Structure 1
C-alpha cells in the first residue's frame, strides 16, 4: 500500500470509525446512567453498548424501561450504520485495488525494486524456464522479462518475479532493475532480439555479466561482439551432451552432480582472485586450502592458460580463476580464505 492510498483510506474511514467510537462512548455513558439504580458498572454499560451495535442479541444485563429502550434503538441504528459503513469503505478499497491491479503487478514491482545483485532473464520459453528453475533451486533472486500472457501466467503460478514487457525496450530492463543486477540471461527464440537485448543491456550497465542463447550457431560471434560475455547454442550443447552420454556416461553423471545446486553433497565452483584479496602473492602451499577448508582446487585459469592439478608452489595472482570441488560449506570456506 502506497502512502497516498493509505492516506486516502484513512480519510475515508475517519467519519464512520469516529462515529462508531462516539456511539460506544455515548452508549457506555448512557447505560451507566440508566443502570445507576441497579448498581450497573461501566463494564456492564460497555457490554450493553457492544452487543447492541454488533447485533449479537444476548440478554440485557441492565433492565430497561421505555426511555432505555428508545436509547437502545438509537444506539443500535447509529452504531450498526457506522460499523457497516466502515466495512463498506474497506471492501470498496480492496475491490478497487484488485480491479486496478488484478495480477498484483504493482506489489511485484515494489518487490523487484528492493532487489540487489539479482539475475534478469529475458524470455521465458523452454530455455528460459529451465534457467529460471536452476536459479530458483540455487536460491538466487531473479526477475523474468517477457511480453507473453502465457509466460505471465506461468510466472504468476510458480511465484516468480515477472515484468510483462519486451526486453528489447530499455524501459522493461530498467523496471527489472538491470542497473542493480549481477547478470543477464537472454533466452528469446530469435537471434535478432537477443542481439538487440545484449546491446541495450551493455549500454545500461557496462560491467553486467551477460549470457545469451544463440538460435543459430553462426550468431555466436555477433553476440559476443555486441557485448555478451558468453553465447551458447542449446542445440549444439544438446548434441554434444547426447554424444558424451554414449561415449562417457560416468563423466556426464559426475558433472550433473557437481554442477547442480541445492541439496547435492558436491559442487563445482569458480572462485576469482580479486585485486586486494589476501590470497594475492601467496602460494597454494601457504594457503593450505585442502587442510583448512576441505575443498580441492582442480584447475587454475590464468588469462588464456589452463593450469590443471596446480602445483602447491603456484603463487596466485590478481585475476586468477580457481575451479574447486567440494561441498557448499567447503567452497564457502575456500572463498573466504581466498578473498578474506
Structure 2
C-alpha cells in the first residue's frame, strides 16, 4: 500500500475515519478524487479497505512520518476531521510546514479555536455543530431547497454537482463572453455565478459577461461534464 501511495500526486488526504470522515470520503470518491485515509483504528481502516476506492494508512495523523507516508508533499489538499481540537491544531501546523501550497480544511469543536487554526495555516475552518444547526433551521425555513440539494448530493442515479472553474490566461475561454465559452453547448453546464479578482461573487451573470483571465466561475452540471471541462480549461 505504501508503495502505491508513493506514486500519487494531487490527491486528497483525510485525517480521521469516523462518522464525519466517512461522509467526507464518500463525497470525494464520488467526485473522482484520489483519497488517502489516515486512521488509528484498525477496524475502521479495514472497513474502508473493504468498501474500496481509496488508500488507507493505519497510524496517528499527529505523527509527521505518517503524513509523509500519505504523500503530504505531493497532495493537493488535506481534510482534518479529528475528535480532538488539540490534535487538529497540531496536524494543521504540521501539514502547512510540510507543504506550503496544500489546501487545508480543518474541523473544530470549540469556536474559539478558529483564529488559531487559520493562523496555523488552515485555508478554511468548519464547525460540524454550526453546519448542523444551519441545516436544521433550513429544514424548517426552506424544506424544498434542502430536498433539492439532498437529491443532488445523495441520489444514486444522479451525479449533479456545483463546482468552481478558474479561467487562466491560456484557457480557450479567456476573453470570451459566457455565451461564447461553450460551457452550455459543449459541456451542458449552467453558470450560476462568477467572481473576478478582488471583487464580490456575482450571481446569475449576464451571458454577455467577458471571462477575463483570473475569473472564477461557479457552475452546475454532471460530474463527467465537470471533469471534461476541468481538463480542457
Counterparts in 2 of 1:28-177, with a 5 A limit?
Answer: 108-159=1-52, 160-177=54-71
In structure 1, the residue matched to 2:205 is: 310
- Distance of 1:154 and 1:182 partners within structure 2: 25
In structure 2, the residue matched to 1:236 is: 130
In structure 2, the residue matched to 1:266 is: 160
- Distance of 1:116 and 1:153 partners within structure 2: 24
Verify: 1:226 aligned to 2:120, yes or no. Answer: yes
| More relative contact order, 1 or 2 (CA 8 Å, 6+ apart) | 2
3-state SS, counterpart of residue 217 of structure 2: strand
* 1:177 Cα deviation after fit: 0.8
In structure 1, the residue matched to 2:77 is: 183
- Distance of 2:224 and 2:180 partners within structure 1: 21
In structure 2, the residue matched to 1:217 is: 111
Considering only CA atoms, is the larger Rg found in Structure 1 or Structure 2?
A: 1
Structure 2: gaps spanning 5 or more residues: none
Equivalent residue pairs, number = 231
* Aligned-CA RMSD value: 2.2
- What TM-score, normalized by structure 1, do the two folds share? 0.62
Question: Do the aligned partners of 1:137 and 1:262 also contact (CA within 8 Å) in 2?
Answer: no
**Structure 1 range deviating more: 152-161 or 213-222:** 152-161
Question: Do the aligned partners of 1:260 and 1:267 also contact (CA within 8 Å) in 2?
Answer: no
Question: Do the aligned partners of 1:273 and 1:319 also contact (CA within 8 Å) in 2?
Answer: yes
* 1:148 Cα deviation after fit: 2.7
- Per residue, is there more helix in 1 or in 2? 1
In structure 2, the residue matched to 1:207 is: 101
Question: Do the aligned partners of 2:11 and 2:77 also contact (CA within 8 Å) in 1?
Answer: yes
- What TM-score, normalized by structure 2, do the two folds share? 0.88
Query: Could you tell me which of 82, 90, 103 is aligned with 1:196?
Result: 90
- Distance of 1:116 and 1:189 partners within structure 2: 27
Alpha-carbon displacement from aligned partner over 1:303-331 (angstroms, at most 9, x marks no partner)? 44111111122222333221112223443
Structure 1: gaps spanning 5 or more residues: 1-107
Residues 138, 330 of structure 1: alpha-carbon distance in 2 compared, 3 angstrom cutoff: closer
- Distance of 2:88 and 2:194 partners within structure 1: 32
- Distance of 1:227 and 1:170 partners within structure 2: 16
Question: Do the aligned partners of 1:257 and 1:267 also contact (CA within 8 Å) in 2?
Answer: no
